[in-house]
Structure 1
Amino acid sequence: MDKFVERQEALKLLNAPTPEERLANLAIVLGSEKEKPEVKPQFANNHIHTIYSFSPYSPTAAIYCARDEGLETAGIMDHDSIAGAVEFRKAGKIAGIGTTCGMECRASLDGTRMAGRKLNNPDQAGIAYMAIHSVPDSGFAKLQEVFGPLREKRNERNRKMTANINALMESKGITLDFDKDVLPISQYANGGSVTERHLLCALSEKIIARAGKEKCAEFVEEQLGIKLSEKQKGQLSDPQNPHFVYDLLGVMKAELVEKIYVPATEECISFKDLVKLADEAGAILCYPYLGDITDSVTGDKKAAKFEDEFLDDLFEMLKEEGVHGVTYMPARNTKEQMTRLQNLCREYGMTEISGEDVNSSRQSMICTQLEDPQFKHLVDATWKLIEREKVSE
């Protein structure tokens, strides 16, 4: 059987409706394995999204895919939720994969020296994405308790953005119903979050149904007025493209978010409260470095300037507020950006954590840059996180 087809068949089982089914199926899939994947200990990834935010993978499927690509470790990182972590941890034990658990969220910069600044959030100034890494099992319930009401607040904004999508699309014969089209493709009922990607995924499915895969590229350019690159045209003109909806979603995210976006306010925890919460949960709070972008690795971010011009001041603020780490993605930035960032991490005593932001079936779990000696320590750091969480169990 073709390797891709074999993986897709496994994913059907590993994306079953319940965690119990998924975990049982993982044991069956691994038990029927004829050949184990080649192990690649030089790689690690601590930023894998699951269906509890937005991803083609359940926590169990994410573990399977990480192992299938040769990883010995894997890290979960969902938006506003850590509901998938228990399943992720159990799947890791079944598969013999070291696990580290975390979640990401947005925090208000009000009250800090970065108030009002545009940092690592492409859509809104004054709000920063933050990563809560290395959460022990004892911290899961606390984080879910705090972020539950914030997820509800986020859905109030999601409904407004759905209305904005409809204002843009009704003339094209497309409308979204948040309760019927968006919520069912999320894990909101099970403690997960609903993100902009869910809205745009639901929209992408509607576009595909309206235009058909053969005419999708034509519809996007002629009806929506979005200029596609030759690569995008090729992807969105191929009915056999297995990543079709994710490729269309990437285009929608890059081109439409600024038109439909509603500023986040009440759903964003204050920076000081987040620092305190991470400490209470026994986690390591990290700032996810974005850096000025030229070519987005995920294909859904436009070229833009972010925190590079005032990076020294940012590190001063992080130290002042009690942030203990920085997380970054070597594939996304230049060698010069990475060298500068690493030097600042060492100067300020920040833990360095790596991870490639996986939320599409087209993406690999592996960041090849980790083979560079400049990043070898990031794999060692991952094992330290895993051991840290084991001690806390």
Structure 2
Amino acid sequence: MSVTIEVVNDPGATPDDRVGALRRWVDAGNDFPPLTLESNNHIHTIYSFSPYTPAMACLRGREAGLQVVGSVDHDSVAAAAEMRDAGSILGMGVVTGFECRVMLHSAEEVEQGRAPFADRKVNNPDSEGVAYMTVQAIPARSRQAAEDFLRPIRAARLERTRRMTEGANKILAALGAPTMDFESDVVGISQFASGGTITERHLLYAMSEALIACFGRGDALVEGLQKMGVGIPGPLRAVLADPGNLFLPHDLLGLLKAEYLERFYIQPERMVHGGELPDARTVVEFALRIGAIPCYAYLGDVSASPTGDKRAEAFEDSYLDELVAYLRNLGFPAITFMPPRNTAAQLGRISALADAHDMIQVSGVDINQPRQVFSCPELAEPRFAHLGDSTWALVAHEVLSDADPRRGLLHPENPMADLPLSERISAYGELGRQLVSDKGATP
């Protein structure tokens, strides 16, 4: 790697330095593969947990042939400006936003017995009644409002993770393993000071390094994990036993998240109690108010996790019809899902339900560890052509609504507001493609 590329992915460099290094690298005449029909709207960066800066995430996406990249860091919009600048240099469409967890029901609904999903796992492996959602295509004018909304959530999450670290340290101490210093080993590998968030993955990465230091590499690590009571799926055993595994802490992190985190996990609390979980309706209304697109993140029953961080488990599929109707009633205008993670039957069903409830369909592949590929070949299939249109519609929405809120895709005063949703998405999809091909010229 050249020094310039190292700067592009340097978490310690400033965003301006990273973008400048990327510009110099592109100006040097480096070649890219042909563009595909693919996009990825669900990329995490160093501002949540990821081996990629926003600039490097854009570059890796372009190297994979993507036309559009999108950032959705947990509880953070700190990647947005850098992502957009890097995408512009690379001639790509960009969609920026964040991902967060929400209580699916209000406290009043729970108290009144009107909370049908309060005791079910919806799309969150760690908690019942708690859902992941994304807020995407945030216009630049609204980034500060999003930051103000998310800051107390990050602060509460930091303190909860501090307490979980104490629990994890008790386990490490009993094993004779090095214990973690929260500030240096967990916060220190994050971008919390720059508007990023602390996630369970930061804690688990630090714990993975402590376990590797305790047990060693190769078969000794596998034997040590088994003595701890960590279940190791067959295909992962050889990966963890490989003494030359360059991604060992990331691989072990995924295993611990799926099979061990529950031993010291502390459930998050509602924001009204000083915690980090707002109500879903609150976030939906906030997102629409700032001109963004709130999306429910469909997971579906899991038989095998591509990243090893989810065990086989049932989620929304047994009550999906009821759930989507409930989400629409909450005001969700969109559903996001990940084609590589689901079966054809699951994808067909969630797509049909979105159509039936007049909801935008957004695609993306969760990127947060170095083994994952940025490409999504499924999007080149004719059956997913509509996902390309909706991605480009989000590109147009983010740019146009920044200049004039009434040009937002869902704004009631949009000149196209009377058209069916599918026609608006198609029209905005063409606008998005034109915006990028014209290098930002307003159509």
Normalising by the residue count of structure 1, what TM-score does the alignment of the two structures yield? 0.94
Question: Quick one: structure 1 residues 16 and 164, their matched pair in 2 at CA, closer, same or farther if it must change by over 3 Å?
Answer: closer
Structure 1 residue 62 corresponds to structure 2 residue 71:
no
1:243 matched to which residue of 2?
247
1:224 matched to which residue of 2?
228
SS of 1:200's partner is helix
Alpha-carbon RMSD across the aligned residues, in angstroms, is: 1.8
Question: Quick one: structure 1 residues 248 and 275, their matched pair in 2 at CA, closer, same or farther if it must change by over 3 Å?
Answer: same
Equivalences for 1:19-98 in 2 at 5 Å?
19-40=15-36, 42-98=37-93
Distance 1:51 1:387 in 2: 26
Structure 1: 5+ residue runs without aligned partners? 1-5
Distance 2:135 2:94 in 1: 15
How much does 1:319 deviate? Answer: 1.5
Structure 2: 5+ residue runs without aligned partners? 110-114, 270-274, 403-443
The answer as to whether partners of 2:212 and 2:221 remain within 8 angstroms in 1 is: no
The answer as to whether partners of 1:14 and 1:23 remain within 8 angstroms in 2 is: no
How much does 1:8 deviate? Answer: 10
Structure 1 residue 312 corresponds to structure 2 residue 321:
yes
Tell me which amino acid in the other structure corresponds to 1:371. A
How much does 1:216 deviate? Answer: 5.4
Tell me which amino acid in the other structure corresponds to 1:360. Q
Distance 2:88 2:361 in 1: 25
SS of 2:225's partner is helix
Structure 1 residue 133 corresponds to structure 2 residue 136:
yes
Distance 1:8 1:164 in 2: 41
SS of 1:22's partner is helix
SS of 1:45's partner is strand
SS of 1:269's partner is coil
Distance 1:7 1:299 in 2: 32
The answer as to whether partners of 1:131 and 1:286 remain within 8 angstroms in 2 is: yes
2:191 matched to which residue of 1?
187
Equivalences for 1:278-297 in 2 at 5 Å?
278-297=287-306
Tell me which amino acid in the other structure corresponds to 1:339. G
Distance 2:197 2:222 in 1: 33
Distance 1:227 1:320 in 2: 40
Question: Quick one: structure 1 residues 122 and 227, their matched pair in 2 at CA, closer, same or farther if it must change by over 3 Å?
Answer: closer
SS of 2:43's partner is coil
Distance 1:363 1:92 in 2: 20
Distance 2:237 2:300 in 1: 28
SS of 1:353's partner is strand
Distance 1:34 1:100 in 2: 25
How much does 1:176 deviate? Answer: 1.3
Aligned sequence identity (%):
40
Distance 1:150 1:325 in 2: 23
Q: Which piece of structure 1 moves more, 246-255 or 12-21?
A: 12-21
1:170 matched to which residue of 2?
173
1:343 matched to which residue of 2?
352
Tell me which amino acid in the other structure corresponds to 2:146. L
SS of 1:290's partner is coil
Question: Quick one: structure 1 residues 177 and 12, their matched pair in 2 at CA, closer, same or farther if it must change by over 3 Å?
Answer: same
Distance 1:29 1:223 in 2: 48
1:160 matched to which residue of 2?
163
Distance 1:160 1:62 in 2: 31
2:380 matched to which residue of 1?
371
Q: Which piece of structure 1 moves more, 200-209 or 260-269?
A: 200-209
1:144 matched to which residue of 2?
147
Tell me which amino acid in the other structure corresponds to 1:205. E
Q: Which piece of structure 1 moves more, 309-318 or 282-291?
A: 309-318
The answer as to whether partners of 2:300 and 2:316 remain within 8 angstroms in 1 is: yes
2:261 matched to which residue of 1?
257
* Greater Rg by CA: 2
Question: Quick one: structure 1 residues 352 and 199, their matched pair in 2 at CA, closer, same or farther if it must change by over 3 Å?
Answer: same
Normalising by the residue count of structure 2, what TM-score does the alignment of the two structures yield? 0.83
Q: Which piece of structure 1 moves more, 202-211 or 64-73?
A: 202-211
Structure 1 residue 205 corresponds to structure 2 residue 201:
no
2:419 matched to which residue of 1?
none
Distance 2:397 2:343 in 1: 31
How much does 1:230 deviate? Answer: 4.5
How much does 1:351 deviate? Answer: 0.1
Tell me which amino acid in the other structure corresponds to 2:373. S
Tell me which amino acid in the other structure corresponds to 1:231. P
How far does the alpha carbon of each residue in 1:253-280 deviate from its partner, in whole angstroms, 9 at most, with x for none? Answer: 1111111110111210112211221012
How far does the alpha carbon of each residue in 1:30-61 deviate from its partner, in whole angstroms, 9 at most, with x for none? Answer: 23344222321x21110000000000001111
Tell me which amino acid in the other structure corresponds to 2:256. M
Tell me which amino acid in the other structure corresponds to 1:304. E
Aligned counterpart for 2:310 among listed residues 280, 298, 301: 301
Distance 2:187 2:23 in 1: 30
How much does 1:158 deviate? Answer: 0.5
Q: Which has the higher contact order (CA 8 A, sep 6+)?
A: 1
Instruction: Count matched residues.
Output: 387
Tell me which amino acid in the other structure corresponds to 2:95. T
